[in-house]
Each structure stands twice: as C-alpha cells, then as structure tokens.
Structure 1
C-alpha cells in the first residue's frame, strides 16, 4: 500500500490541486517522520488505513474518516496535553470553503482520539477502534508498541513514566469496553485487556 497515493487520491477527490497535494504531503511526511516519533509515525497511519479499507463500507463519511486518520497525530509532543486539539486545528486550517469535507466532523473526529470514549456518531467509534487496534496485537508486537511509546516519553524517568503509563492503561480497563464498535469488541476486546493487564504488571 502506497500511503502517498492514497493521500493524493483523497485530496484530489475533495478539491485540492496537484501542487497543494504535493506540498501538504511533504508537510505530513516531515511531521510523521520526526526522529522523536517511534510509534506515532507513518507506520501507525498505514495500520489504521488497513482497518479503514476493511470497514470502509460501514462508514457514513469515509472521506472525513480517512482525512482524519492522516491528521489525527499531525501534532505530537509527549510533553503536551493538547496534541489532538492542535492536530484538529491544523487539519481545519488546510481546508478551505472549496473542499468538500464536513469540517466540524473532521474536528470532532480528531479531538475524539484524545479520550477514546464512545461517541454518538458511529463513524467516530470506528476511527477510535482503528486507532486502538494495536492493543490487541500478539504479545511480541504489543511489546514492540509499548517499547516505542516508552521511547517517545524518554524525557521522563521511570519513576514518573511508569505510574503515569499504568494509570492511563488502568483507565482503559475501568471502562466497560475498550473498543467502541460491536465488531472490534467481538474480535479484540479480550486480547486487548489481557495485553494491558500484562503490561501493567511489568510497570509495577
């Protein structure tokens, strides 16, 4: 799968010129390829788009979802709490009145990736699940994931990082469900909970 081709086709379909597409792609690639990004990078986008392609027919607004996938982690700093809001604002900033996307929906979708809570808009629930599917990987892949996250937070020593990470993980377990769609709950809920519980044990 060629990420740039998928991106270019999407932007062309919603009204961007070839020059705008190339410039925006360059900005996107640069952002997601920063040295500080060990997990929230282009590979993460690719994995989300694999899920998007599988479940595209379930989505009411596939273009908004796909655009939001590309921009949901555009701004990412481990020391900041407003990455999602800043990413949503950036995504809106490159959309003009000539572009055929529901801008409010794009904004809401990207902001929803901060809390990963159930939403009344089903498309948002799908995107949240695409974002969290990593939690249900086989243990070796899950281990690579949490090691990558640790590298992104390397500015924090273990005595700060470990309790913070454990708290965030416990938050997932305290919810009735990790995943927001019936499809993902059936396929991945059990595996994700087992992985999270195992990681918490390693952190304590």
Structure 2
C-alpha cells in the first residue's frame, strides 16, 4: 500500500475530515522529502511498514504503532538533539484533533520518544517499533554500506574530525547492548548480521 493511502485509511478510523487528513499528510510528505533527508525519508517509512507487517499478528495496537511510524522522524535536523521530542509534540498536537483517545495519543508520544535511546520497553508494541526502526543495521552488507553513505550525507555539515567520534560512540552504544533487538522475531532475523555490520563500520572510522 502506498504511504499516502495507508495514512488516509489509518486516519479514517478516527475522522471523516478528509481536508484535515490531507493537511496532515502534506506536512508528513514535505518533511520527509526535505533536501537533507538522505536516509530519514519516505523510503525509511516504507521500510518500517514492510518490517512491521511481518509481525502484525503480534502487535496489540496496530493503529498507534502506525501513527508512531509516520511521526517518529517528522522533525529531523542533524544539528538538533531534540528531534524526537519535537516530533512527539507534533504527533500529540495533530492526533488529538482527529479523535484518538488520550491513552492512544500518549502511547504514540511515548513510542516516538523511545526511538531516541532505543532502550528496551515494558511495552512490547514499542519494542517492535524500535526493532523495525533499527532493522537497517541487520541488512545485507551492500544495503548497510549504502545506509552508511546516506547517514554521512545527512551529517555533511560536520567535518570528519567531529563526525567520526560521534558516529563511533553511537555504534559502540549498540554493540554494548546485551541485544540490539528487543523482540525474538527481530533478534533472530537481524542480530548477528547487525553486529557484523557495525564492527565493519567501526573499523572504517
């Protein structure tokens, strides 16, 4: 399903206001299509939905996790440390208007914030979101190499002497985790390849 149709059918569960839905979609499309979005773009959303479809039967609230995917990188500025907070705030602002109950809006808000540290959650739906978000780490070496280039372009404002130590810190953080992936499904699918890919990238930094 194409992203726009997916977003519209998701929103139609809560509102019939197609003008409002279109307004929200335009914002999503515009932000994820920004000229500095080499990785955190619409293709990233497509990938997350592809990944999450495989575990749909294990997810308690597919609507909330879908909204979290759409909004989790809505604000993405390589120079900011508040992207997740700003994205979560915008999600809360928009989704309250279309009729989601407060509990669901709060869960989406917390799921988006969870993508900042990628720590294991008590909520299994959140863990599925985090794992789908990190699935790129466990893809084939060729795909991972392309991802490295895309991330570097997003941070092109920083010279190597600043970028490399920062990137190294992020990668070492993931390697130090007992498991990069929180759910059995994603762990079995991607864990060992993700560790190989990260170690490969660390050697190149």
Match of 2:128 in 1: 126
Unaligned 5+ residue runs, structure 1? none
Check conservation: 1:16, 1:99, Cα contact below 8 A.
no
- In the alignment, structure 2 segments of 5+ residues that lack a partner are none
Aligned residues: 203
Q: How does 1:4-153 map to 2 (within 5 A)?
A: 4-96=4-96, 99-101=99-101, 102-153=104-155
**Alignment partners' CA distance in 1, 2:173 and 2:67:** 28
Shift in Å, 1:16: 4.9
2:96/2:105 contact within 8 Å kept: no
TM-score (norm 2): 0.97
Deviation at 1:169, TM superposition (A): 0.2
- Normalising by the residue count of structure 1, what TM-score does the alignment of the two structures yield? 0.97
For residue 98 of structure 1, report the CA deviation from its aligned partner: 5.2
The CA RMSD measured in Å over matched residues stands at: 1.0
What is aligned with 2:168?
166
Worse-superposed segment, 64-73 or 99-108: 99-108
Do 2:71 and 2:112's aligned partners in 1 also have CA atoms closer than 8 Å? yes
Deviations, residues 19-62 of structure 1 (Å, cap 9, x unaligned) = 11111111110000000100000000000001122211111111
CA deviation digits over 1:77-136, x for unaligned, max 9? Answer: 000001001000000011226513511101100000000110000000000001000001
**Retained in 1: the 8 A contact 2:15–2:99?**
yes
